[in-house]
Amino acid sequence: MTLTHLDEQGRARMVDVGAKPVTAREAVARGEVQMQLATLRLIVAGKVLKGDVLAVARVAGIMAAKRTHELIPLCHPLPISFVGLDFDLREEADSGVVAIEAAARTAAQTGVEMEALTAVSVAALTIYDMCKAVDRTMRVTDVRLARKSGGKSGEIVLE
């Protein structure tokens, strides 16, 4: 297997996608923030002192996806046509979970996996930041690509 972001001498490089056709592409990523049950209940009740946790996390995730190429050194800037985030709040036994799903779409020469993953990651970090004063036990977990479509690879469903 050859790593596309390395040249013949093993040096990092940006992949030249100039000869690839423009195709419609989509990626969906997921992740979770695990927390104390009381913290989840504060989020649901809208009583976190910093404000509406999920609204801020949604905007942060969208903003981050649009700036992925500035954060990940070898990513291409893409004309993103859509970024959306959804949250599923769950009470489990003695803990709470905010499950995050982000979708990103573009018509470009390369995919939007990194944009979807960045959206989930920054949304999760925003939730953490807004709730850390009341819960130092939170954990950001399981950030992963769930599926992608478009380009030469076609559709890949991982979950």
Write out the catalytic residue numbers.
129
94 CB-contact burial (10 Å; exposed 0-12 / middle 13-18 / buried 19+): exposed
Cα–Cα distance measured from residue 95 to residue 7, given in angstroms and rounded to the nearest whole number:
47
Cα–Cα distance measured from residue 2 to residue 76, given in angstroms and rounded to the nearest whole number:
19
69 Cβ partners below 8 Å, 6+ apart? 75, 76, 77, 78
Whether 132 and 121 have beta carbons less than 8 Å apart is answered as no
Cα–Cα distance measured from residue 136 to residue 21, given in angstroms and rounded to the nearest whole number:
47
